[in-house]
Amino acid sequence: MSSQDNLLSLDRISIVYNKKVADAADVANHTLKVLKNSGLQAIVDIAPFPDYNASLVITVGGDGTLLKAARFCAPKGIPVLGINLGRLGFLAQLNPDEIPELPVQLIERQYFIQNRMMLSSFNDILALNDIVIKGDTFSRTSKLFLSINDRVVCDYLADGIIISTPTGSTAYTLSAGGPVIMPDVEAVVIVPICPHTLTARPLVIPASEKISISSCKSCTKLKLSADGQETIDVDFDKPITIEKSSIMAKLVILKKENNGFYSILRKKLQWGVGPER
């Protein structure tokens, strides 16, 4: 990536907020006012639209808001920056009290744009965090068959399977017992959800591998979910293929103190922090 590719165009900033999150509209309008007072052009939207033409999207909400915007913006090459109003905000770069500093950070180029790997499946489904596959009956386990590069790997009797990017390794995958992976590592994590065997362990494989998940007749349908938001039903006799997408999400990372990946792990997830005395 050239230095020019790592610079933002600030002529069409769109602030997208989640109307279901308390105070999101107020924070979005406050951000708009702060940007305009610094001479930057911006608008406020409730949600992405097909004719989107922004050069930068700022999301106001939780990580879910950012993930939704990223899936929409990635095919258009639009960078995304998050303001956190959620509980964790692992992907977001700003808290509301830091908004007054944003114009200077943008204008003085105190940031870099980080390309994040995405996963793709059929029907042009994209995921920045993960793709989760479960049976259609949530009260019982499912028989799921995993193949990699058309070679059978194993059978799972489990509640489901998570296929995760490095970005998603700190989300659902982590809570299911998967490893944490640096965002710039080219890998995919496969984690069974509540498997009924002690030998079923997470797999970390190269991002170039082709993953296929299928089931048996006991599951008339499988449910596929992208980033926990976009869900579709799949017939059991149609293998689900998941691969690294050629499309990359572009996340704006601010250059500020304690904003490295390891610092965020420690701060947001209390990684390696001992009990209070």
As annotated, the active-site residues are 63
Q: Which positions ≥6 away from 90 have C-beta within 8 Å?
A: 63, 170, 171, 264, 268, 269
